[in-house]
Amino acid sequence: MPELPEVEIVKQSLDKKIKYKKIKNVLIRNRNLRFKIPLKFEKQIVQKTIKKISRFSKYLIIHLIDNSSFIIHLGMTGTIHILEKNKKNFNTNLSFYSARQLPKKHNHIEIKFDKINMIYNDPRRFGFIKFFLNKKNLINYFKDLGPEPFSNSFNINYVVNYLKGKDKNIKNFLLDQKFVSGIGNIYASEILFLCKIKPLKKAKNLSIYDYKKIIYFSRYVLKQSIKKGGSTIRDFKNIHGDTGKFQKEFRVYQRENLNCLKKGCKGIIKKKNITNRSTFFCNSCQK
Ligand SMILES: [Zn+2]
């Protein structure tokens, strides 16, 4: 599943390809995604120019010139392909779980620009697309989500107030989008390893210093991953066909039974299912 860093890479790639371009035509081959694409969607975006592309958490936001917008969520298997006229279809893919060529099936949506087609493909159909008439509607859509780790609102006062007295374990909080938006399963394990905090530790038993480390390393891990082009698990590539490199930096994720990478630590990396999600941690240096 693409997480925040991978969606950020897709955003940066789209920004290079479709910003300031006018939507000439919209073709919907299959409306069945997580939410059915309304019949009026094509009319709502056609003939409009892309003003900018932004991202909140794992949502791509395509801003249009008249202050309307639409969001794309890639779900589990959503990918975006760019086909350029006069170019072969190599490395069309912009997102997680890619193929080198445009797949033959599951190309749900095609948005046509001059000389460029952008295609949304989603075999498992957990992704979705949604239109917003104005900025107020867009902001309102995200109102129940917590701040991103990068946001100034994700600060020590916020974290202390949110977590104090809470019985739930800290790993579950990092995945709780109401608390903080955009930390997924892979990165939650990596963050807690750097914090030296055991994933099953109850939030209420953490110290102020622990809370500070969580803020610091949440930002650090996501930034590092974006810098490395995201994590490539099953072929994630950016617009140039380059794979992400962050999976080579994993310190605990998918390192079950291997030695801990922390200097001087003799611990072994363990894997445990927490609320049905694989969680990796060192049995020695994470307390
Ligand atoms: Zn260790």
* Residue 70 counted as domain residue: yes
Q: Going by DSSP bridges, is the β-strand pair 25-28/128-132 parallel, antiparallel, or unpaired?
A: unpaired
Asked if 12 and 133 sit in the same domain, the reply is yes
> Which residues on neighbouring strands pair with residue 131, listed in sequence order?
70
Ligand 1 mean position, distance from CA 215 (Å)? 21
Cβ atoms of 51 and 114 within 8 Å: the answer is no
Q: pTM for the full model?
A: 0.87
HSE of 287 in the Cβ direction (CA atoms, 13 Å)? 6
Q: Is residue 76 in a domain?
A: yes
Q: Which segments within 38-185 are labelled E, that is strand?
A: 50-56, 59-64, 69-73, 79-84, 107-112, 116-121, 128-132
Q: Ligand 1 centre and the CA of 198: distance in Å?
A: 11
The Cα 122–Cα 109 span in angstroms is: 9
160/231 same-domain check: yes
Number of folded domains that form the chain? 2
Q: Which entry of 11, 55, 58, 237 is annotated as an active-site residue?
A: 58
| φ, ψ at 280 (rounded to 5°) | -115, 140
What distance in angstroms lies between residue 285's CA and the mean position of ligand 1's atoms?
4
**Residues in CB range of 144: below 8 A, 6 or more apart:** 178
Instruction: Let me know if 5 is a catalytic residue.
Output: no
The number of angstroms, rounded, from the C-alpha of 93 to the middle of its chain's C-alpha atoms is 16
The answer to whether residues 106 and 201 belong to one domain is no
Q: Is 151 part of any domain?
A: no
Query: Which one is catalytic: 212, 223, 245, 277?
Result: 277
Q: 147 CA to middle of ligand 1, Å?
A: 30
CATH of the domain at 15: 3.20.190.10
Q: Are residues 56 and 163 in the same domain?
A: no
Q: Are strands 50-56 and 59-64 parallel, antiparallel or unpaired?
A: antiparallel
Residue 277 appears among annotated catalytic residues: yes
Per-residue pLDDT of the chain (287 residues; tens, 9 = 90+): 788 988 998 898 899 889 999 999 999 999 999 999 999 999 999 999 999 999 999 999 999 999 999 999 999 888 888 888 877 655 555 554 445 567 788 999 999 999 889 999 998 999 999 999 999 999 999 999 999 999 999 999 999 999 999 999 999 999 999 999 999 999 999 999 999 999 999 999 999 999 999 999 999 999 998 887 776 554 455 555 566 667 778 899 989 999 999 999 999 999 999 999 999 999 999 99
Domain that holds residue 270: 156-282
Strands (E), the chain: 25-28, 50-56, 59-64, 69-73, 79-84, 107-112, 116-121, 128-132, 269-274, 277-282
